[in-house]
Amino acid sequence: MPLNVPATPVPSLDRAFDLHEAGNLEGAIELCEAILQLDEGHYGALYLLGSILGEKRKLDKAVAALERAIAIDPSRPIAYFNLANVLRWMDRHEAALAAIDAYLAKKPNNVEALVLRADSYIKMDRLDEALRSAERAVALAPMDADAHNIRGAALLIEPSP
């Protein structure tokens, strides 16, 4: 009984993740793009591609890939988190807050997300909201240094006139 083996190997998302973990970002990008040539709506390939492009500071392309991933499957919170980070790097804090709030709607007790949110609020001079988010992070993780650090920042910064 012959096996139906394709003439060329099918690109593997697991392999793309392995390449990413090993630091081979270009190889991971190539595999994600190969997967997307076969299936342009592949959530995992879009998510990983967007995340890697963010790491490489190809920010506009990262946003596009992550937004496409979210449009395909809005139930997966991690793409929102990565999108929020990329948008913050672009100083698009309102959009970053929308993404992080979408993430927190699914994972409300994530300390890292609460710290990220507080940092965005600080950058927007919304210090009361930053403090509330930071204090929630501290309450959830009293030993978390980042939560205490962002709380301290929210308390120390003087609002802009």
Confidence of residue 161 (pLDDT cuts 50, 70, 90): low
Tokens of 16: 């793309």
| Nearest by Cα to 78 from 46, 121, 40 | 46
58: CB partners within 8 A, 6+ apart? none
User: Average pLDDT, whole number, for the chain?
Assistant: 92
Contact 153, 121 (CB under 8 A): no
Tell me the per-residue pLDDT of 6-46, one tens digit each, with 9 for 90 and over. 444 557 899 999 999 999 999 999 999 999 999 999 999 99
Handedness of CA 136, 139, 140, 146 (dihedral sign): positive
Q: How far apart are CA 55 and CA 79, in angstroms?
A: 14
Tokens of 81: 């988190």
Number of H helices, E strands in the chain: 9, 0
| Nearest by Cα to 111 from 80, 75, 74, 148 | 148
How much is the pLDDT for 78?
95
Q: How far apart are CA 26 and CA 12, in angstroms?
A: 15
Distances (CA, A) of 31 to 14, 45, 50, 71: 10, 8, 13, 21
